[in-house]
Homo-oligomer: A and B are copies of this chain.
Amino acid sequence: MYSFTEENYLKTIYKLSELHSKNISTNAIAQIIQTKAASVTDMVKRLSDKKLIRYEKYKGVSLTEKGKKVALDTIRKHRIWESFLHTKLKFGWDEVHEIAEQLEHIKSEVLIDRLDEFLGFPTRDPHGDPIPSKTGSIPKNTYKILADMMEDEQVVMNGVLDHSPIFLQYLSKLKLEIGTVLLIIEKIEYDNSMTVKINGKTVQLSNNVTQNILVIPDARK
């Protein structure tokens, strides 16, 4: 139906829309797709012809319902494949994304449904991101950013904002993963770093790190 490239553009526009709410600029897309602005202009014209996005010269783009469906479908596939790679093939959460970038473009509706069933209908991928349903509904994240939590609060890690392998590997080294319980010991005003306790061990997290960790208050506390 849609090409590898088209799906990547739509997915990118969807993800940018989640953050910005405004129309998405040519440059923003170019940066993520790792291409030139001129190429993006080319492509958005074609996507617009196919009624997948709305495009007005110099005004950026937004997804139509049709385009949003394709984007969510691609994200669904991506996250289900990531779950498969992680839970069945034992890939680390820092390794799954790159392979899933390829697998998400396999064309077969029944395949992804069977895989979903094989995995027991997971609701979140290895990074804590929600998996869109077949019909394209996706739970809104109500997570908080670790940096915004108060001293003495106990929280559970539930996701990350930065998905880069280097960041994920760093978290693994600290034994910080989805489900890990954190107790906030101290917030250092000077550099906005944070002292937290993880499994009884005290570690210092820079602001850069705490800004990229999503948490929920710990129910057990």
Contacts and interface: CB of A to CB of B under 8 A. Distances in A.
B90 A114 contact: yes
Contacts of A173: none
B89 A99 contact: no
A85 B108 CA distance: 12
Interface string A96-139: 00110011001110010011001000000000000000000000
- Residues of A contacting B: mostly: helix
B102 A89 contact: no
Nearest to A4: B4
A118 B88 CA distance: 8
Given A85-B111, A102-B108, A103-B103, 5 more contacts: A89-B111, A89-B114, A98-B108, A99-B106, A102-B106
Closest 4 CB pairs of A and B: A89-B114, A102-B106, A99-B108, A99-B111
